[in-house]
Amino acid sequence: MSSLTPAKALPPVQACLTTVAAVLTAVMLATPVHALDADVVVFTDRHHPVVAPTGVRIVHLDAAHHLKARLSADLPKDPEQAASVARQRLQDGGVALQKRLAIAYQGLVDAWSLGVTNIPAVVVDRQYVVYGNPDVSRALIDIATFRRARP
């Protein structure tokens, strides 16, 4: 639970910075990601929801697990019958299900190849990462600030 301090109680510089941060966050939320000229991917799961601007690719690392659980729910005890039911479910799901499975597993591969260690992880241009911040716009501001400060 956070506490809010009235702006008039803040020193003038801090109040100004607070206002600037609020405006930047609002601009980031309203700015499509393609306008940022960066490749942005957020890795998370259903237990760590994020708030992201339009156009940000969000990878739920637990998506493959959930799809697999749905496909294997209530399978018969007999292995041959279970395999038959599972094949039928895959067939019934068609191309759409196969695509969802491929995307889910590709997300896991992408996270592994980037060395993602915690979630949520906001990754920009496969080089910069902010861990633990569910506010993607704020994480993007932090990354942009860091990039500008680099020589």
Q: Read off the pLDDT of residues 92-124 as tens digits, 9 standing for 90 and up.
A: 989 999 999 999 999 999 999 999 999 999 999
Three-state secondary structure string covering 98-117: HHHHHHHHHHHHHHHHHCCC
Q: In what order do the strands lie in the sheet with 57-60?
A: 57-60, 40-44, 121-124, 128-131
pLDDT at 6 over 70: no
Q: What percent of the chain has pLDDT over 90?
A: 63
pLDDT of residue 4: 40
Burial track 86-112 (b if 16+ CB lie within 10 A, e otherwise): eeeeeeebeeebeeebeebeebbebbe
pLDDT of residue 36: 55
Which whole-number Å values give the CA distances from 107 to 61, 118, 125, in the listed order? 7, 14, 16
Average pLDDT, integer, range 63-80: 92
Instruction: Decide: helix, strand or coil at residue 97.
Output: helix
Q: Is 45 exposed, middle or buried (0-12, 13-18, 19+ CB in 10 A)?
A: middle
pLDDT of residue 151: 72
pLDDT of residue 16: 47
**10-68+103-149 in CATH: which number?**
3.40.30
Task: Give me the chain's average pLDDT, please.
Answer: 82
Task: Please write the tens of the pLDDT for every residue from 21-61.
Answer: 555 555 554 444 444 567 999 999 999 999 999 889 999 99
Distance between CA atoms of residues 110 and 58, nearest Å: 12
Distance between CA atoms of residues 107 and 118, nearest Å: 14
| Sequence spans of domains, the chain | 10-68+103-149
